[in-house]
């Protein structure tokens, strides 16, 4: 039997075994989709260039051994019910899928599973999870420092950063799936030198390259989740673009946090990569810099805790002109999640430390992922030093912030010698002109 531990196993789905394919048997990310053949919304699993329809798989009786609760959860349109079945059910379903998609499956079953496959190219993705609450953190110290240096050159990093995972409560009504167009927001901002603000389309539209974790197991109100148990509450991860209007944000966020400068749209990749698929890529977080204190006891992980993920994230830009000239998207920057200052486990522990309960389907985002090196800035604010040093694209176009028609593409993947590549897929969005 194929097990979760078999990192070399192959699938009978040929496209999954191709070198460089980010959707091998070991990945099996979840999604929500519709297809031409089947108009109803289904949950599915990515394998090679195909999506496996879990509703169809249940209908064929192939999941019956997992029990009625899991079978009915697999017939839902989004992942919430499945997540609510709990970590043991997630493991069992994954084990069953590894069995059914593995090379060793009986010919008869293989035929039934093959009937439940649809080419990825033929499906339309929806949001995989109905998100309840959304929290966005600020876990990259490199991002915090570089952004801080723009506004407070004398003290880029505020003293609390070393101790407390900073975050804000986001909004779920404007979460959209990759591929959804994003309308340039209008808002109130004050142009440098002016006395009074104006209302108008943002002049400083930006992206934020982030990774987000879905809470699969909730917690009780009043009961903090310990940092060592926190990972057990996470179902899987996705890419997230926290679109930001910097001029609106700068004007409104005095003295409170982000509001209309960010809640007009947040894009999510369609795939949720289960934590088990990331096991070979788990690492200790990058060592804290000299002089940085260790965390307080409730955020203290064991010395050998592999709470980080060796996960590369990249952001690409393709302007309207590049699209019409059939030019490839241009990579603006690349960073790695192992360089975050706080792990998702620490974010969960901190989030619940005051007794705030988490619910199935909550979303916790990392904040902009930036690295220490040049070329690893996770947003244009950092890249262009607040628009002062615009970037020049290969076709000669220049960008300080995003323009209408620009497409932003986030990509994420895990790679390690001797293991299959695991892709998080893409999170795309094209900017459209403001309504005026
Ligand atoms: Mn953010």
238 and 367 part of one domain = yes
18: CATH: 2.30.30.230
Contact 236, 213 (CB under 8 A): yes
Domain count, the chain: 2
CA of 234 to the centre of ligand 1 (A): 19
CA of 377 to the centre of ligand 1 (A): 13
317 and 203 part of one domain = yes
57 and 145 part of one domain = no
Distance (Å, rounded) from C-alpha 405 to C-alpha 400?
Answer: 15
Q: Across residues 99-115, what is the average pLDDT? A: 97
Q: Helices 107-114 and 87-101 meet at what angle, rounded to 10?
A: 110
Mean pLDDT of the residues in the chain: 96
**pLDDT over 80 (residue 4):** no
**Which residue in 29, 97, 92, 69 sits closest to 275, CA to CA?**
29
Q: State the pLDDT at residue 165.
A: 98
Reported as a pLDDT band with limits 50, 70 and 90, residue 37 is confident
**pLDDT over 90 (residue 1):** no
CA of 150 to the centre of ligand 1 (A): 17
Distance (Å, rounded) from C-alpha 329 to C-alpha 318?
Answer: 5
Q: Across residues 102-109, what is the average pLDDT? A: 97
Q: State the pLDDT at residue 341.
A: 97
Q: What is the pLDDT of residues 198-221, one digit of tens each?
A: 999 999 999 999 999 999 999 999
37 and 150 part of one domain = no
CA of 137 to the centre of ligand 1 (A): 7
Q: State the pLDDT at residue 5.
A: 65
Contact 436, 186 (CB under 8 A): yes
Q: State the pLDDT at residue 151.
A: 92
Q: What is the pLDDT of residues 67-88, one digit of tens each?
A: 999 999 999 999 999 999 999 9
Domain that holds residue 214: 134-432
CA of 351 to the centre of ligand 1 (A): 16
Work out the percent of the chain whose per-residue pLDDT is above 70.
99
CA 112 to each of CA 35, 116, 142: distance values in angstroms, whole numbers, following the listed order: 18, 7, 50
64 and 161 part of one domain = no
268 and 398 part of one domain = yes
267 and 146 part of one domain = yes
Q: Is 351 an annotated catalytic residue?
A: no
Beta bridge partner(s), residue 50: 47, 119
Is there a domain that residue 9 lies in? no
**pLDDT over 70 (residue 113):** yes
Of 70, 102, 126, which closes a domain? 126
CA of 262 to the centre of ligand 1 (A): 8
**pLDDT over 70 (residue 258):** yes
Q: What is the pLDDT of residues 274-312, one digit of tens each?
A: 999 999 999 999 999 988 999 999 999 987 899 999 999
CA of 244 to the centre of ligand 1 (A): 8
- Strands across the sheet containing 30-35: 117-119, 50-53, 42-47, 30-35, 123-126
294 and 394 part of one domain = yes
Q: State the pLDDT at residue 282.
A: 98
Q: Rounded to 10 degrees, what is the CA torsion of 164, 211, 174, 54?
A: -130
Name the token pair of 47.
């394998």
Q: How many CA atoms lie within 13 A of 289 on its CB side?
A: 11
CA 92 to each of CA 16, 60, 347: distance values in angstroms, whole numbers, following the listed order: 21, 18, 27
Q: State the pLDDT at residue 39.
A: 77
Q: State the pLDDT at residue 2.
A: 42
Contact 419, 397 (CB under 8 A): no
76 and 217 part of one domain = no
Distance (Å, rounded) from C-alpha 316 to C-alpha 408?
Answer: 6
CA of 193 to the centre of ligand 1 (A): 27
Of 126, 155, 188, which closes a domain? 126
Name the token pair of 67.
């029990």
Of the residues 55, 143, 233, 351, which is catalytic? Answer: 143
Distance (Å, rounded) from C-alpha 187 to C-alpha 291?
Answer: 41
Distance (Å, rounded) from C-alpha 254 to C-alpha 190?
Answer: 13
**What are the helix and strand counts (H, E) for the chain?**
10, 26
CA of 79 to the centre of ligand 1 (A): 24
3-state secondary structure of 161: helix
CA of 76 to the centre of ligand 1 (A): 30
Which residues in 67-106 are b (16+ Cβ under 10 Å) and which e? eeebbebbbbbbbbbbbbbbbebbebbbbbbbbbbbeebe
Distance (Å, rounded) from C-alpha 377 to C-alpha 383?
Answer: 6
Question: What is the pairing mode between strands 273-274 and 234-241?
Answer: antiparallel
Q: Across residues 332-340, what is the average pLDDT? A: 98
CA of 367 to the centre of ligand 1 (A): 4
**pLDDT over 90 (residue 320):** yes
121 and 140 part of one domain = no
Of 126, 154, 172, which closes a domain? 126
Q: What is the pLDDT of residues 340-386, one digit of tens each?
A: 999 999 999 999 999 999 999 999 999 999 999 999 999 999 999 99
165 and 120 part of one domain = no
* Residues 6 or more apart in contact with residue 153 via CB below 8 angstroms: none
Q: State the pLDDT at residue 260.
A: 98
> Within a 10 A sphere around the Cβ of 284, how many other Cβ atoms?
14
CA of 297 to the centre of ligand 1 (A): 27
CA of 300 to the centre of ligand 1 (A): 24
Distance (Å, rounded) from C-alpha 310 to C-alpha 322?
Answer: 31
């Amino acid at each position: 039997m194929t097990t979760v531990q078999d990192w070399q196993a192959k699938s009978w789905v040929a496209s999954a075994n191709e070198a460089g394919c980010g959707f091998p048997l070991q990945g099996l990310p979840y999604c929500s989709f519709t297809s031409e053949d089947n108009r109803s919304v289904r949950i599915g699993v990515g394998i090679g260039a195909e999506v496996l329809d879990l509703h169809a798989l249940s209908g064929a009786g192939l999941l019956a051994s997992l029990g009625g609760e899991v079978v009915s959860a697999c017939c839902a349109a989004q992942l919430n019910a499945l997540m609510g079945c709990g970590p043991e059910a997630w493991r069992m379903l994954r084990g069953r899928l590894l069995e059914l998609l593995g090379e060793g499956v009986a010919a008869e079953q293989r035929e039934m599973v093959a009937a439940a496959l649809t080419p990825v190219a033929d499906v339309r993705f929806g949001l995989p999870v109905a998100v309840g609450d959304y929290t966005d953190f600020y876990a990259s110290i490199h991002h915090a420092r570089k952004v801080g240096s723009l506004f407070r050159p004398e003290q880029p990093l505020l003293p609390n950063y070393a101790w407390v995972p900073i975050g804000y409560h986001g909004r779920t009504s404007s979460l959209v799936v990759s591929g959804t167009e994003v309308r340039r927001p209008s808002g109130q901002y004050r142009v440098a030198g002016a006395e009074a603000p104006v209302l108008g389309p943002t002049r400083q539209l930006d992206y934020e390259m982030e990774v987000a974790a879905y809470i699969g197991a909730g917690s009780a109100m009043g009961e903090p989740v310990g940092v060592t148990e926190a990972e057990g509450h996470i179902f899987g991860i996705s890419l997230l673009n926290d679109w930001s209007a910097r001029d609106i944000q700068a004007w409104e966020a005095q003295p409170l946090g982000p509001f209309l400068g960010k809640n007009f749209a947040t894009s999510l990749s369609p795939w949720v990569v289960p934590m088990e698929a990331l096991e070979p890529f788990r690492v200790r977080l990058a060592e804290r810099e000299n002089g940085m204190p260790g965390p307080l006891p409730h955020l203290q992980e064991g010395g050998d805790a592999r709470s980080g993920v060796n996960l590369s994230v990249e952001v690409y830009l393709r302007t309207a002109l590049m699209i019409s000239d059939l030019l490839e998207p241009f990579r603006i920057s690349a960073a790695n999640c192992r360089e975050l200052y706080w792990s998702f486990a620490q974010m969960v522990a901190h989030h619940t430390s005051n007794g705030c309960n988490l619910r199935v389907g909550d979303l916790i985002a990392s904040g902009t992922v930036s690295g220490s090196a040049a070329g690893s800035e996770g947003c244009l604010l950092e890249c262009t030093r607040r628009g002062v040093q615009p970037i020049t694209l290969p076709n000669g176009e220049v960008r300080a912030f995003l323009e209408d028609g620009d497409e932003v593409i986030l990509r994420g993947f895990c790679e390690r010698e001797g293991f299959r590549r695991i892709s998080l897929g893409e999170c795309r969005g094209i900017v459209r002109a403001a309504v005026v």
